[in-house]
Structure 1
Amino acid sequence: MNLKSNLIFTLYTIYGILLKVMASKGKVRGISGQYPLVQNVTVTEGGMANLTCRVEYNDNTSLQWSNPAQQTLFFGDKKALRDNRIELVRATSSELTISINDVTLGDEGLYTCSLFTMPVRTAKAYLTVLGVPEKPEINGLTKPAMEGDHITLTCITQGSKPAADLRWFRNEKEVKGAKEVNASGKTFTVRSSLQLHVDRNDDGVAYTCRVDHVALAQAPQQATEVLEVHYAPRVEIIKSTTVPQEGQYLKLECFSRGNPSPDPVMWTKDGGDLPDLDRIIVQGRELAFTSLNKTDNGTYRCEASNHLGTSSAEYVLYVYDAPTTLPPSTTPPLHPIPPDPTVQLSTHASDPTVTGSRDPNALGQHGTDHALIGGVVAVVVFVTLCLIIVLGRYLARHKGTYLTNEAKGADDAPDADTAIINAEGNHAHAEEKKEYFI
């Protein structure tokens, strides 16, 4: 403080003492209800704070602002402290407002507004200065990471007041980390750690550390790191058709995923090289058959590798006969014709979703229906034969009885019917004769 400032401060002090002395003698009287009114202020470090002191009634008594060190800043419209950051905003008999620009953490504290009545009345306003946290930094990332590694990501931010909050995000999904807070004078240093067991799913994933703080309500600070993970390849074969038939076009694509990329891939057939045919075309990862035939049957293998390992997948190709064209039918079939069975597939790749499998020699589901119909027909034929046999035996028995009766009465009868009647009558007479002789 220079000589002029010291002189002004001394004069204000003497003036205050004189007011107190005069009040003690009853020469200056305060007006009842004259109290200064102030409000607490919160400002971000580097910002501007306005301190306002008001009174409802005033008899031209002066207002004064003092800093936490009890240094007078303004007495009425007179500046007492030489600080270019402090300026007068408004000075009247009922209000004294000052501003502090480029606020620092050292400006925080209790400011006093004094109304020089007898006795002197005061009001205190607390100026809170928020420490802005620095942009966070992420440490502990190794590039590239290997699949299976355990790594620890650490996020650090300094200069916050109060202590900031750190949050982790895996892409857009929040994950929980372990936070640690340390005081550094009036500000805080905050750390947050995230434990990772790296796998291939972490390749290309963005991990973000975000700082949440009251001083960053509109624009939170954050830092982002993208993981690069190296891993062994994994292979699968994708086919262009489900049921390969003679004369058709078939494309097999060897889809391999690995980092570094496993280029190129290698195709083999039945454990050996591919046949040198114009119908088989190899282009990059694709194996194409322009026109299938039975000689193409076999096991096709695709293999890919990088410096971390090798992976392969197999496809068993079975070529079916080309479908024959049937003449158009005027009536719809009783039963729909089931589809042809698909090719039998197999895989030795680490990914089980490569291919499916079906028996190419399967007869289809309609064999069971044919057996059932045959059984029903056999039962009907057997029952019919049994009925014919029983009916034949019945007719034969009645025919014998008719012929026997006709023979017995044939001697004296002019026709067959009379012979049967005579035979029955002779039989009755015989019974009578037999009874008579007894």
Structure 2
Amino acid sequence: MTLKIESLVLSDEKSYECKLQHGEAVSAEMKLTVNQYPREFYVEDTGDVPVDGEEASVARCVTKGAKPEPKMWFTDADGQEVSLDEVPVISQGDDGLFDKTITLKKTFTKQDNGKSYKCHVERADLTTNVTDMSAIQVHYASSVVLLNSVPEVWEEGESLQAACEAWGNPTPAVTWSFTPDAKTNVTLPAGDLLPSNFQTNGARIFSNRLAATAQGLTNNGTLTCTADNKIGSPASASFKIGVYAAPVTTVPTTTGMAPVQEARAGGPDGAVIGGVVAVAVFVLIVAVLLIARYFMSHKGTYRTKEMTMAEDEEKRGDLMADEDEEILAESGGRKKEFFL
């Protein structure tokens, strides 16, 4: 004997009895259980924005009208099950069906930014439904670095360029500001972040002509690049610059008037070249004078010695001639020889 029920419904879940009458009656009872796949299965966004280092509930995975209670879990982009900080919400209606919700609630870090998650639901037949979620956007504080090394000492009139790089989520706003050196006793006009001879273009700052301290304007101080996206504290990177006045040269006049001061227009390169040339000329002149003096002094000494030797030879010859005459006179004109 076979019991066959077509198009089972939940109301078919009951006990069924089979009786066999053959002399003595024999019966057997069976309990029929009817399962129900989830009638609804979806993932919804909570609207919460996770922040680095903070706990947040970013999504809910929901099943409705399931029997028995389904197993549900989240996995990350690596396929690992996520440990949740919130227990599931489960309810059972009069019809015996279960509604169940799990929430993706955890402490997020900026390393989780851009990762995607999946919700899994295991049905009564042990098959699994999977629903993908959109990538999670984790907000984290700004960071900033300088892109180039900037010298600290500059000459008036030179051009300066610098740039910084900032990152964060959301993308931070970048601003440049200037703090004058306290020794200059100069302050910026109210509302101004930079001296009038500086311009910015996003994360870049430049000045076509640096100025030393004069008439209420100075470029001696600290330039700061600040990045801020309203998450945590702003980040900044700074560097100092010192601008000195261009040196001047004095041009003498032949009219008896006061010397005229002319600013050197050649810049730092002209100053270096001019100094090198001047030193070279001076060294050359001194060398020529020393060499000339050396040769003159040695030439005079040689002549003096040469004349003295000639005079000595002449005197020695005269003396020998006188001695020969005396000897001849004493010997009656005969020359005597002596042997030792």
Do these two structures clear the TM 0.5 threshold for a shared fold by scoring above it? Answer: no
Q: Which one scores higher on RCO, CA 8 angstroms, separation ≥ 6? A: 2
TM-score (normalised: structure 1): 0.36
TM-score (normalised: structure 2): 0.44
